[in-house]
Amino acid sequence: MLPLFLFSALGFLVMGYHPGAEDDAVYLTAIKADLHPQLFPHDAAFFQLQMRTSLFDTWMAGFVGQTGMAVAWAELLWQSVSILLLLAACLSIVRHLFKEPRAQWAGVAMVAAMFTLPVTGTGLYIMDQHLHPRNPATALVLLAVSRILARKQWQAVPLAALAFVLHPMMSALGISFCLALTLASLEQLPVHLRSLRERLIPNAATPLAAFIPFGWVFSPPSQVWLTALRSRHWFSVYNWEWYEWLGAVAPVVLFWVVAKVARRQGQDNLARFATAVFFYGVFQQAVAMVIQGPEALIGLATFEPMRFLHLVYIFMALVGGAYLGRHILGKRLWRWVVFLLIFNGGMFYAQRQVFAGTPHIELPSVPSSNPWLQAFEWIRCNTPEDAYFALDPHYMAAAGEDYHSFRALAERSQLADDIKDTSVVTKVPELAPVWQQQVEAEEGWRTFELRDFERLKAQFGVDWVLVQFPPAAGLACPWHNRILSVCRIPR
């Protein structure tokens, strides 16, 4: 267990920790709203509706309520647990594929270093730098995979089911891989099925998410919703760049090579596993190209079928690291040191560029040096819970803001933004008219004067604004730092 804890800690330190960033705009906000229903009296639909297919926020709110632990510390605890479970699952998997301990631990070390490896074209990392439900769900799916490799398929069922209630879309893809691996692992097949093995494996990998009965998927899309959808290039694989296509095709082809080499060397478990990954990848790629192609099926694009690559990238890091441990690292300590320094150092450097304006690890109760987070904290502690804010609809992309969420961290209602809320609209089309109205009302934010803020107040009822310092004349501003001011709109 000691090496497992050490690699978990190393992975956490390299990846960093940024609660309230990026997708946590939805998840952390939903948890806080469950715990404190008086929060977010305005526009709560921008995080509540996306959570209607997941029990993640309910589960986390229940955990906080039962333990009395602060939300910030509970998030950090479960992020740490998710990392440990994911690496434990990877260790269990690789032990079924490689006999040498050095190969097994090199595989685990590679996955830990590659937590923030971008999964080509999908907008995903292997693991998020905050408690995303995808993190524990992925760990549970990998544990299910390890149970299948151990020939204990029924133990995989509750693990996959639990993953599904946390993150249905990603877990559906994970479940489909589990079905493919189960078929690839069968020692004996009836004669009339044996010749069909190649077809059975991909058919078993049909993405279950495609059959979730959301009626809006088959409704004629509105132009506003299409605008939001087209702002995210990962919703159409046909818009990917050549290098993104390479990142999609190359790993699948590599597993075909691994399967052939392993079969030739008598490594049956590895050969079956690689075969399952190959067929899973080929079939899911075909499905993605079909449902992201014609306009008639454009609603299905929001299920993001190319995210099947998330699992493929985890397995690529795991198997690639294992081969590195077997054939290159061996028992030479200096080679292990160089290996760990290169991969962990490179990923650490990349993360510092992504979150350049924020401490690498944002621990609870530690005051932030980020001026945006300082403003969010002041707002949380000094404004009424029913305060309704307007701020730059592109604030998350501002220099030094590092994509932290106002709702999640300031814990106050806000008018729709044109970054994260746009992504929410792609999943919840009924929000499109409200989103469009609010974002259009905020156009030209950087040149707003008092009359523009008064217009927002008359139109939507907002009574507070977060603006650049110095603020426009006429606003009542009780707080500011070197770049931001928190102001009331006069009555």
DSSP string, 459-483: HH---EEEEESSPPTT-EEEEE-SS
3-state percent breakdown (helix, strand, coil) of the chain, nearest 5: 65, 5, 30
pLDDT of residue 220: 58
The structure's pTM equals 0.88
Q: How confident is the model at residue 219 (pLDDT cuts 50, 70, 90)?
A: low
pLDDT of residue 304: 81
Radius of gyration of the chain (CA): 24
Evaluate if residue 157 carries a pLDDT over 50. Answer: yes
Percentage, residues of the chain above pLDDT 90: 71
Residue, of 485 and 194, whose pLDDT is higher? 485
> pLDDT tens for residues 178-208?
998 988 877 544 444 444 444 433 333 333 3
- Among 101, 39, 149, 138, which residue's Cα sits nearest to residue 326? 101
Evaluate if residue 378 carries a pLDDT over 70. Answer: yes
> pLDDT tens for residues 159-184?
999 999 999 888 999 999 999 898 88
Evaluate if residue 445 carries a pLDDT over 60. Answer: yes
> pLDDT tens for residues 79-126?
999 999 999 999 999 999 999 999 999 999 999 999 999 999 888 999
Evaluate if residue 477 carries a pLDDT over 60. Answer: yes
pLDDT of residue 373: 96
Q: How confident is the model at residue 229 (pLDDT cuts 50, 70, 90)?
A: low
pLDDT of residue 193: 40
> pLDDT tens for residues 453-470?
999 999 999 999 999 999
Q: How confident is the model at residue 428 (pLDDT cuts 50, 70, 90)?
A: confident
Rounded distance, CA 291 to CA 304, Å?
Answer: 10
Which of the 8 DSSP states describes residue 221? P
> pLDDT tens for residues 382-418?
999 999 999 999 999 999 999 999 999 999 999 999 9
- Interval 322-341 mean pLDDT: 92
Rounded distance, CA 175 to CA 164, Å?
Answer: 9
For strands 413-414 and 388-391, give the pairing: parallel
Question: Taking the chain, what is the end-to-end CA distance rounded to the nearest angstrom?
Answer: 62
Rounded distance, CA 104 to CA 97, Å?
Answer: 9
Q: How confident is the model at residue 213 (pLDDT cuts 50, 70, 90)?
A: very low
Give backbone dihedrals phi and psi of 482, rounded to 5 degrees, phi first: -70, -20
Q: How confident is the model at residue 71 (pLDDT cuts 50, 70, 90)?
A: very high
Q: How confident is the model at residue 449 (pLDDT cuts 50, 70, 90)?
A: very high
pLDDT of residue 354: 92
- Interval 296-313 mean pLDDT: 80
pLDDT of residue 231: 66
Evaluate if residue 32 carries a pLDDT over 50. Answer: yes
Average pLDDT, the chain: 88
Domain map (residue ranges) of the chain: 2-354, 371-488
3-class secondary structure, 485:
strand
Q: How confident is the model at residue 371 (pLDDT cuts 50, 70, 90)?
A: very high
- Beta-carbon contacts of residue 208 (< 8 Å; ≥ 6 apart): 172, 175, 176
